[in-house]
Amino acid sequence: MLSACPDVEATEGETFPPELALVPLPEFAKDVGVDGKLLVPLKFCAKGRESTAEEVDLLRAAFWFINSTWERAHEKIHGPVHSFAHRLREADSRMFDYAWANRIGLYLRRKIARDRQTDEIALFGELPPAEIIVTHDVDALSKTFEVRFKQSAFHAFNALRLMLGMSPLKSTLRMAKALSFFFSRADYFRLGEVAALEEERGVRSHFNFYGGPPGFRRTMKNMILDPAYDVSAERISSKIRELRELGWTIGLHQSYDAFADAELMRAQKSKIENAAGIEIKSCRQHWLRFSFENTWRAQQDAGFELDTTLGFNDRPGFRSGCALRYNPVCESTGEKLRIEAIPMVLMDSQIYDYSLSASASLETAISRWLDEIKNVRGVATVIWHQRVLSPDYGWKPGFIELLKQIRGL
């Protein structure tokens, strides 16, 4: 299996959109592909689109995915997309549908063993078990105006989409939901409820808490975009310490403007450490704000060892074409960083806010992505916000289904 990146693949000369090819696998390895094929960049295919897997530079193809080479090149020209897939208009969405780098690794493992006429397990050992890490970005612990506005806006936007899609009844119901959400009251302090559901199923998740200024100590922009709570308040800090003592992992959820600012991250990290009583080593950027050029370097400089930001806001999937824990590289220097990255593959809002399809069941919407992680024996994270267990969201059944499927791995 592929576990770490070599030198970053050069971004110069990348085409927009990247040209891709589905190459067929030999009979002995068809099961490690998707319908017996692997998706690879065309530039690594010796015979163009007529190439077979044995005629592709698969190591370079795998690291092209892991290093997000194409998106790095896109960022150099257009700036960071800050985790919105729709801003990568040139992208072939098939890149994000499967953990292609893992599948390439599985194929190479089998091929090498076959070429040496030896047993795959005897040569390489057993494959590791899949690891799916549940995470909770704690964006709100009470129903603030910002939360009311954001979620009501989502409902109103989806109502418009349904109306344009000639579904007037569904559109009306969604607009009614927007109004109901904006004016209703709800309790979002559901950290204990989340922990209890996980305890029943043997899961220990990561809680990422906001460490920026609270309330009216924020700028007007940050009052709209950042959480409002004060992590040093006794009710919150005591709960954080309780979770930590019972085995849950505590991380930082950086403020909106901190994605490239090591000093700001360091100050927010310190605030969470004071509240939790431990050193904080992991993080995820708020709103998944992210830049290949700056974010990982800033996180490392701030003292973090693990980041779980790399994923999309508006669709599930494998943004870097892999489900791996790896050390990324710095875009400007090519240096392998000390910080590790684990991709984020699925988020609750991608199911409930961004998808209007009624064709897929909740079970299928979740299993589609978890099954891929399982099939490639990969490592990835999922996000389920703790506040959405509240009845005014109604997303608790999805969280229970998620835990059920993870327990069944």
Residue type, 380: A
* pLDDT band with cut points at 50, 70 and 90 for residue 7: very low
Helix, coil or strand: residue 286: helix
Give me the chain's average pLDDT, please: 92
pTM of the model: 0.92
For residue 102, is pLDDT > 80?
yes
Query: How does 240-270 read in b/e, with b if 16+ C-beta sit within 10 Å?
Result: beebbeeebbbbbbbbbbbbbbbebbbbbbe
* pLDDT band with cut points at 50, 70 and 90 for residue 9: low
pLDDT at 211: 97
Tens of pLDDT, residues 234-265: 999 999 999 999 999 999 999 999 999 999 99
pLDDT at 115: 96
- Least-confidence region, from 172-186, 224-238, 262-276, 315-329: 172-186
Which H or E run contains 283? strand 282-285
In sequence order, the 6+-apart residues with CB closer than 8 A to the CB of 154 are 178, 349, 353
Domain boundaries, the chain: 20-124, 131-143+185-407
pLDDT at 210: 98
pLDDT at 2: 44
For residue 8, is pLDDT > 60?
no
pLDDT at 164: 80
Percent with pLDDT over 70 in the chain: 95
* pLDDT band with cut points at 50, 70 and 90 for residue 356: low
- 230 vs 173, which has greater pLDDT? 230
For residue 3, is pLDDT > 50?
no
Q: For residues 367 and 319, what is the distance between their CA atoms, to the nearest angstrom?
A: 18
For residue 19, is pLDDT > 70?
yes
- 147 vs 345, which has greater pLDDT? 345
pLDDT at 172: 85
pLDDT at 360: 66
Percent with pLDDT over 90 in the chain: 78
Burial zone of 354 (CB within 10 Å; 0-12 exposed, 13-18 middle, 19+ buried) = middle
pLDDT at 12: 65
In the structure, how many helices (H) and strands (E) does the chain have? 14, 10
pLDDT at 169: 81
* pLDDT band with cut points at 50, 70 and 90 for residue 4: very low
Torsion of CA 85, 89, 93, 96, to 10 degrees: -40
Over residues 10-24, the mean pLDDT reads: 84
pLDDT at 227: 96
Is the Cβ–Cβ distance between 328 and 337 less than 8 Å?
Answer: yes
Is the Cβ–Cβ distance between 316 and 345 less than 8 Å?
Answer: yes
Over residues 173-192, the mean pLDDT reads: 87
Over residues 273-298, the mean pLDDT reads: 97
pLDDT at 348: 96
> Between the CA of residue 365 and those of 315, 347, 360, what are the distances in Å?
12, 11, 6
User: Closest Cα partner for 306 from 166, 180, 206, 197?
Assistant: 206
For residue 359, is pLDDT > 60?
no
pLDDT at 150: 80
Topology, domain 131-143+185-407: TIM Barrel (3.20.20)
Over residues 91-112, the mean pLDDT reads: 97
For residue 318, is pLDDT > 50?
yes
Is the Cβ–Cβ distance between 287 and 208 less than 8 Å?
Answer: no
* pLDDT band with cut points at 50, 70 and 90 for residue 357: low
Quick one: tokens of 263?
A: 């000093």
pLDDT at 11: 61
pLDDT at 155: 73
For the ranges 11-15, 335-339, 378-382, the one whose mean pLDDT is highest: 378-382
